Amino acid sequence: MTEIDADAALRLAALQGQSWIDEAVAGRIAAGADAAVAAVTEALANEPAGLAACSVGSFLATLEALAGVER
Amino acid sequence: MTDWTLAEAAKAVSTRCITSRELVEACLDLVSAWQPVSNAFAAVDADGARFAADQVDRAVAAGKPLGRLAGVPLAHKDMYFRPGRRSAMGSRAAPPATGAPSTVLERLDAESAIELGTLNMAEFALGPTGHNTFLGDCCNPWNADHVSGGSSSGSGAAVAARTVFGSFGSDSGGSIRLPASATGVLGLKPTNGRVSCAGMMPLSSSIDVPGICARTARDVALLLGAVAGHDPRDAGTSRLPLPDYLRALESGVKGLRIGIPDNFFLDGVTSDVGRALQASLDVLASLGAVRVPVRIPAPGPLCELSRAIVYSEVAALHATWLRDHFQDYSPQVRVRAATGFAIPAPAYLQALQLRPVLLERFVRDVYARCDVLHLPTLEIPVPTRVETDVGGGEGMWAKIARMVRCTAPFNYLGLPALSVPCGFTDNGLPTSFQLVGRPFAEATLLGVAHAFESATDWHRRAPSPRA
């Protein structure tokens, strides 16, 4: 799998107007972003049905539906 | 009187055993003693606190009805907006806060609580240690060489030092539970949607919740009861009815199933943290709780899934300020705030879309077997400020990552989590266990903590400014 590397982070940041980011900072940003994206990929791999049935707006409703009866 | 619990202090004021003014002066004296040591306060408003205390005392003398927290000094993380007051948010770069006043503060005002000042915090709430380049680090009151925990660093330190009786911070990755654990007090991260975020500095609006630091389960229950519930100004708050948190404290733990993870969450625990965790389980078992092993479904990615959301939302929020004022951010915080620029939008959206799926699976698999989960808040002893600071060497990043390993997963899942002090590690710093419940099960968590407190005295231990 292709990693997010410092060069990619530098280009993406520049596209978004963040010209202050240098190579050293880009390297650290890349490491953090790469780990996050890898986790998403890993979690998605465990969902053979995909995400078509889910919507972002259902999280509070899901929490409420899963609330139990307090002791 | 500063050793009293919040509940005891509130009763003393309402029954005229003591005036609110006397309470405020006692707290201010302690703030003077502690501030050079722990630097918990960003700003102290002594005149404002005295004025408010005098108003409460006049009302008490006149027999007027007052709120449940009347006359009790509190202080909160400097990220709750109040009209006419600038919230610095731990930063030099923060523009003046605009927008809605904080619902949490308004509800505390309605209970006649006193605000002693605003508390130190990690810059823009971006950090789990309590370092702050601009305000100076918040230091652990048990040993100033050690971190206070963050990002609600002043909340833990101020409550532990008995300078205030309770505090509101926030928790988007562990930011109330970590300082609570590091300083030996309780820290509650409520279910997402239980407490309004209106008028609170956003870090990551999908993940943020207000959090509570206090010295006992009863005190947390009092504070939660004062602020919880639907808020028309925050569409993300639940309309589910509120339980009686105080009444639920007496439920006991007889027959309660305490889930002990047999994967992931105990893998990195040091021996001294492990001993304290085991001892706390023995206490709960002696009170009638039943221990059951529980396998956690797919815990590995949860921390990073949370970061995928947090980093993306932080970058979006800070994009303009970073572009125009990057030099006003400290170097570490600058990097954290910018990480999201390199996370592709589909990955962020997928992390959001996975949340209800993974939450349903977690609750179904875990809470079929237990009533609450019991695990570490912080799997290592509280580290030093030097080893977790810039220039802390090779192990710095790994140590910082370990600090949130047991807390951030529950931010992603939106579940309620309570850190409860349960001893000290070999380096003399406090440690704790963390209880995690089903959605909106704060009352159950508080009941377990209250039962634990009835059989132990960790919650009564206090640091000394002369130590």
User: Among all residues of chain A, which has the CA nearest to that of B355?
Assistant: A59
Asked whether B290 and B253 are in contact (CB, 8 A), the reply is no
- CATH class, range B6-231+245-460: alpha beta
In the numeric block, the tokens 């702050």 are attached to B132
Instruction: Answer yes or no: is pLDDT of B93 > 80.
Output: no
| Short-list B223, B222, B218, CA closest to B250 | B218
Structure confidence by residue, pLDDT tens digits, B59-79 = 999 999 999 999 999 999 999
pLDDT of residue B423 exceeding 80: yes
pLDDT confidence of residue A55:
60
Consecutive H or E run containing B431: strand B430-436
pLDDT at B396: 77
CA distance B315 to B329: 13
Structure tokens at B284: 């709960």
In whole numbers, what is the pLDDT of chain B averaged over residues?
95
Cross-chain residue pair B359–A62, CB shorter than 8 Å = yes
Give me Rg for the CA atoms of chain B: 20
Taking CA–CA distances from A62, the nearest residue in chain B reads B356
Among B residues 40-79, those touching chain A with beta carbons less than 8 Å apart: none
Measured CA to CA, the distance from residue B386 to residue A65 in angstroms comes to 45
Residue B268, pLDDT score: 92
With beta carbons less than 8 A apart as the criterion, state whether B24 and B92 touch. Answer: no
Would you state the pLDDT for residue A47?
Answer: 83
| Confidence (pLDDT) at B400 | 85
Residue B390 pLDDT > 80, yes or no?
no
Q: What is the pLDDT of residue A52?
A: 66
Report pLDDT for B67. Answer: 95
Nearest to B335 among A29, A59, A62 (CB): A29
Q: Provide the residue ranges of all domains of chain B, joining segments of one domain with +.
A: 6-231+245-460
Query: Does residue B454 surpass a pLDDT of 80?
Result: yes
Q: How many Cβ atoms are within 10 Å of B226's Cβ, its own excluded? A: 20
Question: What are the pLDDT digits (tens) for B300-351?
Answer: 999 999 999 999 999 999 999 999 999 999 988 999 999 999 999 999 999 9
- The confidence band for B269, taking pLDDT boundaries of 50, 70 and 90, is very high
User: By the CB < 8 Å criterion, does B355 face chain A?
Assistant: yes
User: What number is the ipTM of this complex?
Assistant: 0.94
> Buried b vs exposed e over B362-377: b needs ≥16 C-beta within 10 Å?
bbeebbeebbbbbbbb
How is chain A split into domains, by residue range?
A: 6-67
